[in-house]
Amino acid sequence: MARLRIGLIGWGTVGSALGRLVAAGPLPLELACLAVRDPAATRSSPLPDGVAVVTPEDVARAGLDAVVELAGGTEEPLGWARTALDAGTPYVTANKALLATHGEELSALARQRGAALLASASVGGGVPMLETVHHLAATGAIGRLRGVLNATTTYMLSAMGEGMTYGDALREAQTAGYAEADASLDVDGRDAAQKLAILASEAWGQWRSESQVERHGIRGLEVTEGQVIRLVAEATEQTLAVAPKEVERGSALGATSGIDNLLEIEVRAGGIFRIGGPGAGGRVTAGAVYADLARLVSGERPILFGGNA
């Protein structure tokens, strides 16, 4: 197997966990360069010795075998992704905000230049939801998607159902590295809406943006002890919605707790398929990025929103 030289943008919760996986193997990967916002910052995971620290723009135009973006945000990453894809460099990211805003353009550019675009970690953390939806979409028979796609709010709502306050539950989710850098994305339902738009785009072969999702978050929600409320994301080919809902404790959605994500995929004349597991955190999310890199190492060149043809 050929050695893959990668450039990494971001050394936070997910980026530093990916760095540890790359160093540990077994894939033949070499971390060629790295970018962060503030190279001089004191950090719990120090930047690795012997790896060039450059700007994100330098990473994007370095002509590497892949660029991995684990920084977050929308407009700056759009520039990095355009630069890399335009040069034919495979682009791997966990950035759902970028894909639910500019995914159509980036997928088209990737197809034009024959560059791979992969984003398993953008939905479901470590759970291969996008791959499963892609697989089931091959027959064109997905009728509905329904799930719990945001770990921070599941963590908060399950803790609040056991008596914790909203503020304490949010602080715990932030300290553990589950929440977005701007946690309003989690509690206002935007993170779940971005993930739903990405899944729906893959399910029905027509790109949807976050702005097409009707959205209600959990800000200020009160949960009485014993009540089971989850931030439920639901899509058909025509409608996309995210809202907090009371669910049966014994149901698949009601059984989620902590950082669980769960997706139900209803296939016409095929029944309901379920996939779930840990939806956030450095190690599990980096595992999904690593799995994308494994596909590149083995010579695959998948393009997100590229269809099944």
Cβ atoms < 10 Å from Cβ of 99: 30
Half-sphere exposure of 149 (CA within 13 A, CB side): 34
Whether the upstream peptide bond of residue 26 has omega within 30° of 0, thus cis, is: yes
- We find the least distance from the C-beta atom of residue 119 to ligand HSE, in angstroms, to be 11
Q: Is 195 an active-site residue?
A: yes
Largest CA distance in the chain: 57
Residues at the site binding ligand HSE, with contacts judged by CB under 6 A: 125, 150-152, 178-180, 186, 191, 279-280
- Nearest distance in Å: CB 202, ligand HSE: 16
Q: Which residue is nearest to ligand NAP (CB)?
A: 12
Which of 27, 58, 73, 216 touches ligand NAP (CB under 6 A)? Answer: 73
Of 267, 263, 209, 214, the closest CA to residue 240 belongs to 214
Closer of 229 and 259 to ligand NAP (Cβ)? 259
Residue 204's binding partner out of ligand NAP, ligand HSE, none, with CB under 5 to 8 Å set by partner kind: none
Under the binding rule (CB under 6 A), the answer on residue 189 touching ligand NAP is no
| Other Cβ atoms within 10 Å of 110 Cβ, number | 26
Q: Which part of the chain contacts ligand NAP (CB under 6 A), choosing from 65-73, 137-145, 210-218, 233-241?
A: 65-73
**Residue 70 CB, nearest distance to ligand NAP (Å)?**
5
Q: Which stretch binds ligand NAP (CB under 6 A): 23-31, 166-174, 219-227, 277-285?
A: 277-285
* Shortest distance in whole angstroms from residue 40 CB to ligand HSE: 27
Q: Measuring CA to CA, which residue among 123, 141, 142 is closest to residue 131?
A: 123
- Write down how long the chain is: 309
Alpha-carbon gap, residue 284 to 278, rounded angstroms = 7
Count of beta carbons in the 10 Å neighbourhood of residue 249: 12
Residue 210, SS3? helix
Token pair listed for 294 = 């494994």
CA 227 to chain centroid, in Å, comes to: 28
Choosing among ligand HSE, ligand NAP, none, which partner's interface includes residue 95 (Cβ < 5 to 8 Å by kind)?
Answer: ligand NAP
Give the nearer residue to ligand NAP in terms of CB position, either 72 or 90.
72
Instruction: Out of 134, 146, 190, 195, pick the active-site residue.
Output: 195
Site residues (vs ligand NAP, CB under 6 A):
9-15, 35-38, 41, 56, 70-73, 76, 94-96, 121, 125, 177-178, 180-181, 280-281, 285
Instruction: Indicate which residues carry an active-site annotation.
Output: 195
